[in-house]
Amino acid sequence: MIDIDPNEQIIKKVRRHKFVLVFNSLFVLFFVLIPPVFYKFVQSNITLSGNDLALFLVIYFAILLFVWVGFFKRWTDYYLDVLVITDKRVIDIEQKGFFHRDVATIGLDKIQDVSVNVSGILATFLDFGTLKIQSAGEVTEFVIRDIPEPNKIKAEIYDLHNKRLEAPQSVKVVQ
């Protein structure tokens, strides 16, 4: 998935808050429950004849198939979107659909600013928000949404950043 140097240690892997997966998956409940309720309503108000139940079941199972694929896509996006913090860099892996992934990396010594944005009642109570990491490099800003405990992660990144800057740099002497 990602290449880590042999002398590089992974400090933390962070995924989106679990509430986001639950909230995004509410459509599953809607599409699983609405067709049987609709069928009961139609059956009690209209006289059905012939193979109406078989037709309903075929349509319902087709809906369930599409709902399952939609849920699986959302779960894949949730599970494969990862922020990896190592002792040398921060790696943002963002899954977009089934077959597209963006990976961006920033060295801890290149970080200029880390900011947190927590907005909304649920985000405040459940403690999740947006983490922005700014650098002077090629990728000027990382934006990672719906991170749990964003202030704690910000503090960890700053601690690692400060340790990285304070560490003595090795000088290679060429003779």
Domain that holds residue 111: 7-165
In the predicted model, residues of the chain with pLDDT beneath 50 are none
125 in any annotated domain: yes
Does 140 reside within a domain?
yes
pLDDT at 44: 77
The predicted structure's pLDDT at residue 20: 86
**Total tally of structural domains belonging to the chain:** 1
The 3-state secondary structure of 38-63 reads: HHHHHHHHCCCCCCHHHHHHHHHHHH
Q: 72 lies in a domain?
A: yes
CA dist., res. 108 & res. 167, Å (int): 12
pLDDT in tens, 102-118: 998 898 988 999 999 99
CATH number assigned to the domain comprising residue 140: 2.30.29
Q: Classify residue 175: in a domain, yes or no.
A: no
**Averaged pLDDT of the chain:** 86
Distance CA 135, CA 94 (A): 18
pLDDT of residue 115: 94
Whole-model pTM: value is 0.79
Domain-located, residue 174? no
Reading across the β-sheet that carries 82-86, which strands appear in turn?
10-14, 82-86, 89-95, 101-107
